[in-house]
Amino acid sequence: MGIEELSARELRDKIAAGQVRSVAATEAVFKAIDRCEPIVGAYISTFREQALAKAREVDDRVAGGEPVGALAGVPVAIKDVMCTTFGATTCASKILEHFHAPYNATAVEKLLAADAVIVGKTNMDEFAMGSSTENSGLKQTANPWDATRVPGGSSGGSAAAVAAGMCFAALGSDTGGSIRQPASFCGVVGLKPTYGRVSRYGLVAYGSSLDQIGPLTRTVEDCALTLNIIAGHDPADSTSVDDRTAPLADYLEKLEEPIQGLKIAVVPAFNAGADEQVLKSVSDAIKVYKTLGADVIEVEMPHLDYAIAAYYVIATAEASSNLARYDGVHYGHRTENPADYIEVYSKSRAEAFGKEVKRRIMLGTYALSSGYYDAYYLKALKVRNLIRADFVKAFEKCHCIMMPVAPTTAFRIGEKVDDPLQMYLSDIYTIAANLAGIPGISVPCGFDDIGLPIGLQILAPAFGEDKLLQIARMFEKVTDWHAKRPSL
Amino acid identity of residue 108, one-letter, is V
Q: List strand residue ranges (DSSP E) for 43-168, in order.
A: 43-46, 75-79, 117-122
Annotated active-site residue in 155, 158, 178, 320: 178
321 is catalytic: no
154 is catalytic: yes
* Sheet with 75-79, side-by-side order of all strands: 43-46, 117-122, 75-79, 169-174, 212-217, 189-192, 440-447, 453-459, 400-404, 263-266, 295-298
Q: Residue 440 belongs to what H/E stretch?
A: strand 440-447
Residues in the chain: 488
Contacts of 144 (CB under 8 A, 6+ apart): 36, 39, 40, 151, 160, 163, 164, 186, 486, 488
> Measured between alpha carbons, how far is residue 264 from residues 205, 403, 404, 438, 480 in Å?
34, 10, 14, 16, 21
**Closest Cα to residue 437, out of 157, 177, 209?**
209
Annotated active-site residue in 14, 54, 79, 467: 79
C-alpha to C-alpha distance for 70 and 231, rounded to whole angstroms: 13
Annotated active-site residue in 131, 154, 173, 281: 154
Residues annotated as catalytic are: 79, 154, 178
